[in-house]
C-alpha cells in the first residue's frame, strides 16, 4: 500500500477501508469534528485503487465546501483542521514505515515478483510471490547455492484455484525434498484472471535456516518447464528447472512490522538486485545424451545386429562379434548419463521406476548374452580346429541365445516409451 500527499492545493490521503470505517458505520452517523457535511464529502470520493480497496480523500475541496456552507464555528473548524492535517501525517508515517520493511525483486523475463519481510523479534519470514502458472512450478531459495538451502516451491493446487507451497530442503544440485518440519501459513493464494499464481504467506521459525542475513543476502529462484502440475500434495514430483537465477536481497531493510499486504504490484525491484547474468537458461545435457543414445540403440544398432547375426553369423561370426560389441558399448554409453539423471530426482534415486527396472534388466541380460555368444563362438572354433563337429548342445544354446536377444530388443523398444 502506498500513501502519498503533496502541497499545496492537492493534498491527498490514502487510507484503507478499515481506517475509513472508523469514521462510522453509515453516512448519517459519520461525523468529522462535529461536521457531518465534511463526512459526506469525504465519503463521496471513496474508490478502489490498485486491486486493494483504499480511499482517496481530496481534503481541500471538502474543506472549502465545509467553510462555504457556514456551518462551522471556530472551535469546530480548529478540530476539523487538526484532524485534516494530523490524520494524513500519522497515517502516512505508519504506512510508509510498514512499506519500507519489505524488499522486492521483479524478474521481467518471467514476470515474477518476489517480496520478503522479516518479522522483528521473531523467527518468522513473510513472503509474497506472483508468477505465471504456465510454469510447472516457481521456486525461491535462501542462499547462494542449492545444497542445504531452504526452498519454497509453488505450484497450482489440485483444483487450480489456489497455490500449493511446499517447503523443501535441497541436499545438492538435485530435486529438493519436502521438509514436513517446516511450518507454513498461507494468508491468501489464488490463480488470478491473468493466469498468475499469487500467494501471500508466512514461513514459521525459518530464519535459523538462512545462513546469511544482511544487506546483501544471497538468494535464488527457478522456474520449471511448461508442463502441467496440479496437486495439493507438498511432496509432488517436479522436473528439472528450465531457467534459474541468483540475486541479493536486503534483509536488513526487509526487517520490520507490517508484513506484506495483498494486491502488491509493480515492475521494479526495491531492496533486491538480480545478478549480472540475469535469468539463465538451463539444459539437461545428461538427459539429452541418454535419450539420444537409447534411441539409437533401440531403433538402429539392435536391429542391425540381429540382421547381421541372422544373415551372416554362420559365415562371418567375427562380424557379428563386432556389431554385438558396438551394441553393448552403446547400451553402456546410454547407461552412464541415465544414472546421472536418476540422481537428480527423488522418485528415481532408488532406481525403482519401470523405466529404470527394465533398463537395468536389459543391460544385465545383454551382458550375459554377450558372454554367452563369445563362449559359443569359442566352443565352435575349438571344435573346428580339431576337425570335429561342435557338441550337440551348442545348437540348443544358439537358439536360446537368439531368442533372448530378440526379447531384449523388444524390451528396449518398450522402455523407450516409458
Q: Higher confidence at residue 219 or residue 16?
A: 219
- Cβ proximity of 256 and 115 under 8 Å: no
Give the pLDDT score at 145: 94
Interval 397-418 mean pLDDT: 92
Which residues are paired to 117 by β-bridges?
126
Q: Is the pLDDT of residue 341 over 50?
A: yes
From 242, 245, 243, select the one nearest 275 (Cα to Cα).
Answer: 245
Q: Is the pLDDT of residue 323 over 90?
A: yes
Instruction: Outline where DSSP puts E strands in 262-364.
Output: 272-274, 280-281
Interval 247-262 mean pLDDT: 86
- Cβ proximity of 117 and 254 under 8 Å: yes
Q: Which three cell numbers stand for residue 268?
A: 521494479
Interval 135-155 mean pLDDT: 96
Question: Cα dihedral sign for 236, 240, 243, 245?
Answer: positive
**Percent of all residues in the chain with a pLDDT value above 90, rounded to a whole number:** 57
Interval 308-327 mean pLDDT: 85
Tell me the pLDDT band of 16, cut-offs 50, 70 and 90.
very low
Q: Higher confidence at residue 9 or residue 348?
A: 348
Interval 26-30 mean pLDDT: 33
- Cβ proximity of 404 and 364 under 8 Å: no
Pinpoint the alpha helices (H) of 45-145.
59-68, 74-99
Of the listed ranges 106-120, 242-256, 257-271, 325-339, the one predicted with least confidence: 257-271
Tell me the pLDDT band of 104, cut-offs 50, 70 and 90.
very high
From 40, 50, 39, 44, select the one nearest 16 (Cα to Cα).
Answer: 50
- Cβ proximity of 210 and 217 under 8 Å: yes
For the chain, give the mean pLDDT: 80
Tell me the pLDDT band of 278, cut-offs 50, 70 and 90.
confident
Interval 232-259 mean pLDDT: 93
Tell me the pLDDT band of 392, cut-offs 50, 70 and 90.
confident
Q: Is the pLDDT of residue 302 over 90?
A: yes
Q: Higher confidence at residue 283 or residue 38?
A: 283
Q: Which residue has the cell 509474497?
A: 128
Give the pLDDT score at 266: 61
pTM of this structure: 0.68
Q: Is the pLDDT of residue 259 over 80?
A: no
Which residues are paired to 169 by β-bridges?
150, 177
Q: Which of 136-145, 300-309, 344-353 has the highest mean pLDDT?
A: 136-145
Helix axes 317-342, 354-385, angle to 10 degrees: 160
Q: Is the pLDDT of residue 97 over 50?
A: no
Give the pLDDT score at 131: 96
Report the C-alpha gap between 107 and 104 in whole angstroms.
Answer: 10
Q: Is the pLDDT of residue 48 over 70?
A: no
Give the pLDDT score at 385: 84
Which residues are paired to 246 by β-bridges?
220
Q: Is the pLDDT of residue 54 over 80?
A: no
Give the pLDDT score at 417: 81
Q: Which residue has the cell 515478483?
A: 113
From 171, 172, 165, select the one nearest 188 (Cα to Cα).
Answer: 165
From 320, 301, 297, select the one nearest 398 (Cα to Cα).
Answer: 320
Q: Higher confidence at residue 377 or residue 237?
A: 237
The set of residues, in sequence order, having a beta carbon less than 8 Å from that of 215 and lying 6+ positions away, is 250, 251, 252, 253
Question: Cα dihedral sign for 268, 273, 274, 276?
Answer: positive
Angstrom CA distances, 283 to 82, 289, 363, stand at 63, 11, 27
Of the listed ranges 4-13, 274-283, 408-417, the one predicted with least confidence: 4-13
Q: Which residue has the cell 496437486?
A: 231
Q: Which three cell numbers stand for residue 25?
A: 458505520
DSSP H or E stretch at residue 223: strand 217-223
Q: Is the pLDDT of residue 88 over 70?
A: no
DSSP H or E stretch at residue 375: helix 354-385
Report the C-alpha gap between 116 and 103 in whole angstroms.
Answer: 6
Report the C-alpha gap between 413 and 62 in whole angstroms.
Answer: 80
Give the pLDDT score at 314: 66
DSSP secondary structure string, 283-307? Answer: --HHHHHHHHHHHHIIIIIHHHHHH
Tell me the pLDDT band of 26, cut-offs 50, 70 and 90.
very low
Interval 392-401 mean pLDDT: 88
Tell me the pLDDT band of 2, cut-offs 50, 70 and 90.
very low
Interval 235-262 mean pLDDT: 90
- Cβ proximity of 57 and 12 under 8 Å: yes
Report the C-alpha gap between 162 and 374 in whole angstroms.
Answer: 61
Q: Which three cell numbers stand for residue 376?
A: 559359443
Give the pLDDT score at 313: 63
Q: Which three cell numbers stand for residue 6?
A: 503533496
Of the listed ranges 3-7, 214-218, 380-384, the one predicted with least confidence: 3-7
Angstrom CA distances, 194 to 51, 199, 416, stand at 13, 14, 38
Give the pLDDT score at 416: 86
Angstrom CA distances, 89 to 12, 15, 48, 66, 137, stand at 11, 11, 21, 21, 42
Tell me the pLDDT band of 63, cut-offs 50, 70 and 90.
very low
The set of residues, in sequence order, having a beta carbon less than 8 Å from that of 154 and lying 6+ positions away, is 129, 131, 137, 138, 139, 163, 164, 165, 166, 197, 199
Helix (H/G/I), strand (E/B), else coil: 143:
coil
Tell me the pLDDT band of 22, cut-offs 50, 70 and 90.
very low
Amino acid at each position: 500500500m502506498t500513501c502519498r500527499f503533496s502541497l499545496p492545493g492537492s493534498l491527498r490521503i490514502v487510507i484503507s477501508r478499515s481506517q475509513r470505517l472508523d469514521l462510522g458505520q453509515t453516512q448519517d452517523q459519520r461525523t468529522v469534528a462535529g461536521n457531518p457535511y465534511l463526512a459526506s464529502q469525504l465519503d463521496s470520493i471513496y474508490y478502489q485503487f490498485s486491486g486493494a480497496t483504499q480511499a482517496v480523500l481530496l481534503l481541500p475541496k471538502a474543506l472549502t465546501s465545509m467553510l462555504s456552507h457556514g456551518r462551522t464555528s471556530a472551535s469546530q473548524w480548529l478540530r476539523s483542521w487538526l484532524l485534516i492535517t494530523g490524520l494524513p501525517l500519522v497515517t502516512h508515517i505508519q504506512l510508509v514505515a510498514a512499506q519500507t520493511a519489505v524488499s522486492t525483486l521483479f524478474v521481467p523475463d518471467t514476470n515474477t515478483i518476489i517480496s520478503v519481510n522479516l518479522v522483528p523479534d521473531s523467527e518468522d519470514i513473510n513472503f509474497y510471490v506472483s508468477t505465471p502458472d504456465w510454469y510447472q512450478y516457481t521456486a525461491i531459495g535462501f542462499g547462494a547455492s542449492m545444497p542445504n538451502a531452504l526452498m519454497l516451491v509453488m505450484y497450482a493446487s489440485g483444483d487450480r484455484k489456489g497455490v500449493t507451497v511446499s517447503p523443501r530442503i535441497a541436499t545438492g544440485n538435485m530435486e529438493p525434498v519436502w521438509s514436513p518440519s517446516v511450518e507454513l501459513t498461507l494468508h491468501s493464494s489464488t490463480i488470478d484472471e491473468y493466469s498468475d499464481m499469487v500467494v501471500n504467506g508466512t514461513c514459521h521459525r525459518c530464519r535459523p535456516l538462512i545462513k546469511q542475513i544482511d544487506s546483501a543476502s544471497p538468494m535464488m529462484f527457478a522456474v520449471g518447464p511448461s508442463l502441467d502440475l496440479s496437486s495439493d500434495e507438498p511432496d509432488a514430483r517436479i522436473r528439472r528447472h528450465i531457467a534459474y537465477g541468483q540475486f541479493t536481497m536486503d534483509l536488513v531493510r526487509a526487517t520490520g512490522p507490517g508484513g506484506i499486504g495483498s494486491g502488491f504490484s509493480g515492475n521494479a525491484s526495491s531492496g533486491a538486485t538480480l545478478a549480472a547474468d540475469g535469468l539463465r537458461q538451463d539444459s539437461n545435457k545428461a538427459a539429452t545424451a541418454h535419450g539420444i543414445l537409447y534411441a539409437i540403440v533401440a531403433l538402429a544398432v539392435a536391429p542391425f545386429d540381429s540382421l547381421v547375426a541372422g544373415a551372416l553369423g554362420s559365415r562371418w561370426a567375427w562380424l557379428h562379434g563386432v556389431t554385438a560389441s558396438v551394441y553393448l558399448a552403446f547400451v553402456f554409453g546410454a547407461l552412464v548419463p541415465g544414472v546421472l539423471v536418476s540422481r537428480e530426482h527423488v522418485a528415481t534415486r532408488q532406481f525403482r521406476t519401470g523405466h529404470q527396472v527394465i533398463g537395468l534388466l536389459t543391460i544385465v541380460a545383454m551382458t550375459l548374452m554377450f558372454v554367452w555368444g563369445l563362449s559359443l563362438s569359442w566352443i565352435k572354433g575349438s571344435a573346428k580346429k580339431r576337425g570335429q563337429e561342435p557338441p550337440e548342445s551348442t545348437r540348443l544354446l544358439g537358439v536360446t541365445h537368439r531368442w533372448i536377444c530378440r526379447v531384449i530388443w523388444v524390451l528396449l523398444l518398450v522402455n523407450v516409451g516409458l
